[in-house]
Chain A
Amino acid sequence: MIILNKIKNQISELRSKERGFTFIETITYLFIMSMLLLIISSMLMSIFNARKQLQASHAVQHNARFVINFLSNRIHNVDLITDVSPASEAWHFYQMPDIRFSIDVEGDDLIYRQVQDIGSGFPDQSTANPLALNSNKVVVSNLNIYSISDAHGNLNKGIKIDFVLTVGAPGNNYGYLQKSFSTFLSIR
């Protein structure tokens, strides 16, 4: 019985020595946790923003490449280029005597229209089905087409083409991208 009481006293003495976190420990813990959360959240934000930038960049590059490939294919098969300014569709590209196409910016889109003369003259370009060459996420603007002559002075042997592609709104720091493109395509 004496021994038991002795043990009880020892336990009681040990328990009396236990105590909660000190104030310093709590402050230190909170500081470390805050720093960790800050680092992790900023990294996640960074990844998210990088992904948005990559998506915007990809959309612009993909659209630019598609436009240049599409127009290369069409322009290379053109026999004759005529400037019909001041009509809205400034340039007419004749692939064959009875088929012609035009490209123009309408709204946010780069529009390709092709018409055929089936014996009663060419229908107005605006009556042809519009084919948008850009995706709906990308805005096309500032399209400029310049006629280029060859080294022998023959006119309209190619076109210098400039355009601007935009993704996102200007206020969107990471989802906004605007790029200018310029190249030259010759007829064959």
Chain B
Amino acid sequence: MLKVKRKRISNGVKKLAKQEGFSLMELLIVISFVSAMTLLIVAVSVSNNKLRYINEERTQALFYSTEALEAVELMNWNDLVVGDYSVELSGDSWVLNSGSQLLDNKYTRTISVEDVYRLDSSNGHSYGEIVTSGGYLDPDTKKATVSISWSSKAGSSKVESFQSYFYRWKAERWMQTDWVGGDGQGTWSDTTKFATKESGTDISVPGITTLQSGFIDWNDATTTANFDTPGNFDENDVYEVDDIAYLVTENNSSGSEFYILDVSDIYNPTELASLNIGASVNSVVVKGDYAYLATDGNNKELTTIDVSNPGSPSIVDTNDIGGNANAFDVVVDDTELYLVKGKYLYSFSLIDPAEPDYLDRINVDDKARELFLSENNVYIATEEDDAELQIVDVTNPANLNQIGEYDLPGNLKATDVYVLGNTAYISTQNNGGGPEFFIFEISDPSDPVYIGDYNFNETIHSFGIVGPYALVGTNFLNEELSVIDISVPASPSPVSGFDLSGYVLGMSANCSIIYAATSSNDGEFFIISTEVADCGYASSGTLESSTFDTDSAQVTYNWLSFTGSQPIDTDIRFQIATSNNSTGPWSFVGPNGTSGTYYSVAAQEFINYSAHLDQRYMRYKLFLNTNSSWEVPILEEVTISYSVYP
């Protein structure tokens, strides 16, 4: 026991004797730690300062760059040739100098001007995307790059670059939408007037220019012939073009619903061919080599028929639009087809006219019956009792957009619709003492304005407009077709009527002939003639505008566009004349700079660049033509884009 105690005490004494200070290693660790902390703190501090310097210098560079790019905006375009420049204030304007400049004894500013090339070119205009290689030189666009370089307080050289594109011209537009003021105006001031026109050009209706409709007299009109299709099936619609009538009927379970007739002899129409569609057909329209049918067939609401050989039509495409609702009407323009079915308006692309391709649809609330395409709008007659007239913007046919509607008095059901210029007409079922035929002013399609009506006291099945007359198919037994004068829209007046032994369910009409599809059981197809051999439609006409002053001798003309309707076999064309003298002479030329070509693309067509460059005064010349027996082109608006400098 004592031995153990002694050993412990001995160890304790030895331990005490070995006590000593910090080792060298411990000292180094402490010094290293303190040094590292010190370095870290110094580094953070230096980094903060660098950040501050860079931030301040970049802001200054931004201000210098903004100043330079904005100053280039005000330079003379002719001075902006490829090269390096500087700008400085001289008096109250900027001056462009060659080479770089030193600012604040620190920042070197260089403005580099480069040419710009674009992807496409047409009629001398370069357009489309800007490309870095290849392409077409765009003489009206320059690229400016401002580079600011400096030696930073942060200890290195810095460069900031800013780029901008400059377009030479400031675009303006000259637009004419009315010609009712008449001719004799040499210089543009009254926006409804123009310089001259040929006799065939009709400017009497506000908002349009068209061809003369000639002489129409319904007093001696008479039925020249009818055609009896097999069975007692109602004929729902007819479309006539180039002396060929296309008839469609309700379902004939044992025969055809589509007929093609030669009507060149209005006293003796003859059948060329017929085709079994297998369902009631409610509407037909023909464009080029194809007829498009709106049917009741659940898997073929839109049926396309090749009629390139009228003696041998064939079905080339059927569209099953879905659902069991019936398609009631179909219309076409150059590139699209519109169809109403159930409560929807559908749009189709006619890029391949043999196979319409679905684009979009829009709900019109209740059963849509008939439609009419005018400019960029489709007007729809519906059975919706609080919006019988509906207007859909089809500017983008892949994105239909309702822009207007009108609620006729009471709970009416609309049966047909027609649009001519700034006027829309709509018919309804029997209104029980009230009017069934309504007229609207639609210069603003989003807000139709009621201007007149006519009381038939009977349901209207269909109608058409020819000149100042409405040809109205009613439900009367002794006057199925009535003609009313609508030249004064506020007070239409009756002209004449025809007993056809069947209701007129569809019609195709011109100034001398009405082709009527009826419900008669004995000769469903009627031809009614005014017995006036030449009703006087002008086949062509021109109109020359007043002189428009762009107010600048540095001017370029960009493009021309127009709106209106160009039925088959009709066209609207333009030529442009420019001069530096307000009195001309006026040499009208087309896209290639010669008098042999015309601007004819409604959407937009580039005006020849070099033929009109820097010519202050401008005129346009309108050419209207029709090869159709009764249809005429209608111009509603022409727009010319030009740009002046500065």
Contact = CB atoms under 8 A, between A and B. Distances in A.
Given A54-B52, A58-B55, A65-B59, A154 B646 contact: yes
Interface in B65-121: 66-67, 70-71, 73-76, 79, 89, 92-94
A164 to B, nearest CB: 13
Interface in A136-188: 146-155, 157-158, 160, 179, 181-186, 188
A113 B52 CA distance: 33
Given A68-B66, A184-B71, A50 B49 contact: yes
Contact of A160 (B6, B59, B89): B89
Please classify how large the interface on chain A is, using the bins under 10, 10 to 19, 20 to 34, 35 or more.
Answer: 35 or more
Most buried by B among A11, A58, A186: A186
Interface stretch (B38-46, B127-135, B249-257): B38-46
Given A147-B92, A148-B94, A150-B646, A54 B79 contact: no
Contacts of B92: 146-149, 155
A87 interface: no
B107 to A, nearest CB: 13
A184 B70 contact: yes
B4 interface: no
B10 interface: yes
Interface in B590-639: none
Interface string B50-65: 0110011001001110
A44 B76 CA distance: 57
B17 interface: yes
B9 interface: yes
B16 interface: yes
A61 B55 contact: yes
A51 B93 CA distance: 42
Given A148-B93, A154-B646, A185-B66, A47 B59 contact: no
23 contacts: A11-B9, A11-B16, A14-B16, A36-B34, A43-B41, A43-B42, A47-B44, A51-B48, A53-B48, A57-B55, A58-B52, A64-B59, A72-B66, A147-B92, A148-B89, A150-B93, A150-B646, A151-B93, A182-B63, A183-B63, A183-B70, A184-B66, A185-B66
Contacts of B71: 158, 184, 186
Contact of A179 (B9, B49, B56): B56
Contacts of B29: none
B503 to A, nearest CB: 55
A51 B51 CA distance: 11
A73 interface: no
Given A64-B59, A68-B62, A72-B66, A152 B646 contact: yes
Interface string A71-86: 0100000000000000
Given A7-B9, A152-B646, A183-B67, A43 B38 contact: yes
Contacts of B34: 36
Nearest to B77: A151
The 9 A-B residue pairs whose C-beta atoms are closest, nearest first, are: A150-B74, A151-B76, A50-B48, A186-B73, A184-B67, A183-B63, A61-B59, A149-B93, A183-B67
Contacts of B25: none
B17 A14 contact: yes
Most buried by B among A51, A157, A184: A184
